[in-house]
Amino acid sequence: MFLTRLRDALTEADVVDDPQIIESYRADHAPGVPAGMPRAVVFPRSAEQVAAVLRAAVAERVPVVPRGAGSGLAGGANAVDGCVVVVMDRMDEIVRIDPLDGVAVVQPGVRNTALREAAAEHGLWYAPDPASRDFCSIGGNVATNAGGLCCVKYGVTRDSVLALQVVLADGSITRLGRRSIKGVAGYDLTGLFVGSEGTLGIITEVTVRLRPLPPPAITVVASMPGLTAAATAVQSCLTTMTPSLLELLDRRTIRAVEEWKGLGLDTSAAALLLAQTDLPGEAGEAEARRLEQTFTEHGALEVYRSETAEEAELLLGARRFAFPALERLGRVYLEDIAIPRGRLADLLAAVERIADRTGAIVGTFGHAGDGNMHPTIVAPWDAPEAGTAATAAFHAIMDAALDLGGTITGEHGVGLLKRHGLAGELDDTARRLHLQIKQTLDPYGLLNPGKALPSMP
């Protein structure tokens, strides 16, 4: 009956119940998070088709799991038993790029990189750049409020989203926000949907702002003698400059990358700092010099500055390989905590203490300039008992971030992975507020049930 309704609303080929195909839509990229068994996977091609799916789901009380490209790291797109997975992949049209307005309108299935490339043809730039940009969707980016490498200067996805078309739980279609940069008529419901991880509605169109393409960046790399020296160098940079990128890799991460890729990194360093400036011309040169100088003042063992745009990009390789390099070493538990900018040294010290205490192997890298770090716990394949230490460390690191005034997740989202951590972050009233809003927008609790939200206080 449910399937019949779906097949009536969508074309035959866009409704799938073949268990073999379904299998590949059960889980996202989060390792070790449970995934249920969907009864169907659908690939709508319009907001109206999404609305029809939701109306059918409400009529028969079928849970609905929205899914973009499935690159999520929190289990947010993981199926729950008996659900319909709504894959937004086939709504992948770039509806319009308007260079004069500095605006693009896209369907949610468009890949981040596809939007960037289309904007670049007009000399424009879509700033948000998650490391997964080649294989994640704009809809998923909006639903998770994805971050990336450029946030330290250009903000997160939320800062680029002007308007959304959304299908609500009851199948009604609405437009939120506007095409102007500014606007304060009504509540910021666009912002409410950004980062809502598929629990409030399904995003069917996204209007984003584009910026002028920045000038080619200069990359500055420094190997640092200690984590504290690295963290205080980051601090110093931020009080006087706004670099366009400011990343850190710790020793274990450097070694994992070096072992795998042989880039010639200094494996004796305690940390590698990677910074970029994209100021134009002489100002860029000057900022690069100040970055070098700041790193040197904080005891850098070696400082290097890129000479060409290609080299600038090449030097980022170490950062781009960080996570896959650690993944090679075993089963990984990827953290995504964020702390106030000034507490980076404290956080890095806390992570070291936690690793010592639990016996977990932790490699840490991430967006140092935003205080958003990815301590990555590795449980070697040949040490099955390492899982216990890893789990203990995973929780302890979240607690440490909260103790420092931070958050359990800076960009990946809560999904299934971090639901229990919410109780430590949100006070009772805030938790109640979340559940009231969810209840108001999704009275039957069908949208992505069991994800992203705290339990009742």
Interacting positions 30-69 with ligand FAD (CB under 6 A): 65-69
Which of 71, 223, 235, 376 contacts ligand FAD by CB under 6 A?
71
**C-alpha to C-alpha distance for 35 and 81, rounded to whole angstroms:** 8
User: Interhelix angle for 2-9 vs 47-60, to 10°?
Assistant: 170
Q: Please answer whether residues 345 and 228 qualify as being in contact, where contact means their C-beta atoms are separated by less than 8 angstroms.
A: yes
What minimum distance in Å lies between the beta carbon of 193 and ligand FAD?
A: 8
**C-alpha to C-alpha distance for 84 and 163, rounded to whole angstroms:** 27
- How far CA 286 is from CA of 153, 220, 237, 275, in Å, comes to 17, 12, 13, 14
What minimum distance in Å lies between the beta carbon of 7 and a second copy?
A: 27
Stretch that binds a second copy, among 65-73, 296-304, 383-391, 423-431 (CB under 8 A): 423-431
What minimum distance in Å lies between the beta carbon of 292 and ligand FAD?
A: 26
Q: In what order do the strands lie in the sheet with 15-16?
A: 15-16, 40-42, 84-87, 64-67
440 lines the binding site for a second copy (CB under 8 A) = yes
Instruction: Kindly write out the interface string for residues 194-233 of this chain, putting x where it contacts a second copy by CB under 8 A and - elsewhere.
Output: xxx---x----------xx---------------------
Which of 47, 85, 110, 146 contacts ligand FAD by CB under 6 A?
146
Tokens of 123: 């000399």
What minimum distance in Å lies between the beta carbon of 189 and ligand FAD?
A: 14
Does residue 32 sit in helix, strand or coil? coil
**C-alpha to C-alpha distance for 339 and 401, rounded to whole angstroms:** 6
421 lines the binding site for ligand FAD (CB under 6 A) = no
431 lines the binding site for ligand FAD (CB under 6 A) = no
- Considering only residues 298 through 327, tell me which ones interact with ligand FAD, judged by CB under 6 A: 323
Q: Which does 148 bind (CB under 5 to 8 A by kind): ligand FAD, a second copy, none?
A: ligand FAD
Stretch that binds a second copy, among 23-31, 35-43, 130-138, 431-439 (CB under 8 A): 431-439
Backbone dihedral region for residue 102 (phi beyond 0: left; psi -120 to 50: alpha; all else: beta)? left
> Which residues on neighbouring strands pair with residue 166, listed in sequence order?
174, 203
What minimum distance in Å lies between the beta carbon of 449 and ligand FAD?
A: 11
Stretch that binds a second copy, among 34-42, 60-68, 108-116, 169-177 (CB under 8 A): 169-177
Q: Which does 132 bind (CB under 5 to 8 A by kind): ligand FAD, a second copy, none?
A: ligand FAD
Nearer to a second copy, 252 or 418 (CB): 418
Nearer to a second copy, 36 or 236 (CB): 236
- How far CA 220 is from CA of 32, 278, 286, 368, 435, in Å, comes to 36, 12, 12, 14, 46
205 lines the binding site for ligand FAD (CB under 6 A) = no
- How far CA 33 is from CA of 15, 123, 360, 443, in Å, comes to 26, 41, 19, 26
- How far CA 71 is from CA of 11, 130, 185, 271, 413, in Å, comes to 26, 11, 34, 28, 12
**C-alpha to C-alpha distance for 232 and 225, rounded to whole angstroms:** 12
457 lines the binding site for a second copy (CB under 8 A) = no
Stretch that binds a second copy, among 65-73, 261-269, 353-361, 401-409 (CB under 8 A): 401-409
